[in-house]
Amino acid sequence: MKSRILTAMITALVTIILIAVAVYFIFGFNSKPGKVMSVNSPQGSFEAYVIESPSADPPKQSLFIAKAGTGEFRLVASLPEDIESTQTIYWTEEGDKAIFVTNWHLFVTDVQTFNTMKISLNPDWWKMHEGEKTFSSSGTPVVMEELILDGSDSLTYRTNLMTQPVTVSLTGL
C-alpha cells in the first residue's frame, strides 16, 4: 500500500514538473529580450532602439536610446504589455531628438536632456469587462499617415482618424 502511495506521489510530482516545463517553453519564458527595431541618428552618435521581452501576452516592448560605441544607454519608456507596439523610429536632421511612433503614442526624446514628450494618437477610452479582469478599446486601428519634422523645433502629424494635421512645438523639451 505504501509503495502505491509513493508511486502515485512520484507520478503526480513528475506530471507537475512536465507541465511546468511545457508552459515555460510554450509561452517563451526560456527566450531572452531581443532588439526588434533600431535606427541610428543621422550623425551616427546615437542609436534609438526597441527591445521586446518574452511575454505570455506579447508584445512587451521597451524604448531605449544609446550613445554609439560607449555601451551607455537610457530607457525612454516601457510600453504596456499586449496593447502598444512600436511602428517606426525617426530622428530629427540634427540628431538631437528621437521620435518613437507606436500604435498609441508619439514619444519624442531629447538625447541631451532625456526629457520626453508623450503625445496621444488614439482618442479611444478603455472599457473594463467586469468579472473577466480584462479590458479593451474600440479596436479602431490608428495609422500614422503624415509626420513632418520641422527641424528640431516642431513636428506636424496626422493619423487616419484625423482630418487636419496637428503641429506640436518641441522647444523646451
Q: What is the pLDDT of residue 24?
A: 67
Looking at residue 117, its pLDDT comes to 96
pLDDT tens, residue by residue, 5-37: 878 778 877 788 777 666 666 665 666 888 999
pLDDT at 49 exceeding the cut of 80: yes
- What are the cell numbers at 124? 479611444
**CA 102 – CA 116 distance, rounded (Å):** 14
pTM exceeding the 0.85 threshold for the entire prediction: no
Q: Are 111 and 120 in contact (CB under 8 A)?
A: no
Does the pLDDT at position 136 exceed 90? no
pLDDT for 32: 83
Q: What is the model's pLDDT at position 16?
A: 83
Pairing of strands 61-67, 73-78: antiparallel
Q: pLDDT tens digits, residue range 60-118?
A: 999 999 999 999 999 999 998 878 899 999 999 999 999 999 988 999 999 999 999 99
